[in-house]
Amino acid sequence: MANTQILTIAKFEELKKSPNIILIDFSATWCPPCKVMTPIFRALSEDPELSEIGFYECDVDEETEVAALFSVSSIPTFPLVVFKGDGSFDLKTDVITKVVGAQDGISFRKVYVDALAKIKSE
């Protein structure tokens, strides 16, 4: 069972107020590459090596404000975000890495395992 939650603007504002690491799946129901990536994203949410990451799904058609905050221009887009916990958000410094488009599961996972390892080592 996937360990994902829906990301709304209200949830986004709440997440910024505590130190969090989150991975977001920006997608749309009509997008074929998004449909390919959704099961891969959901499987990743169950990966024990990535248990420190909160996994969120955000429909760009329903949550346009959140998509705009991240300057999402192509879907699917998967930014890994580290919040400082002070309520701020800076697209340039808080987004640690970002994958755009459909990927194979192994490469997709490696991006985030490597990014999490780097965050932990800093």
DSSP-assigned letters across all residues of 35-46: HHHHHHHHHHTT
Describe the strand order of the beta sheet including 77-83 as a list of residue ranges.
4-6, 54-59, 20-27, 77-83, 95-100
Distance from chain centroid for Cα 8: 13
| Inter-residue contact 24 to 4 (CB < 8 Å) | no
CA 39 to each of CA 14, 33, 105: distance values in angstroms, whole numbers, following the listed order: 26, 11, 10
Catalytic residue annotation: 31, 34
d(CA 81, CA 42): 17
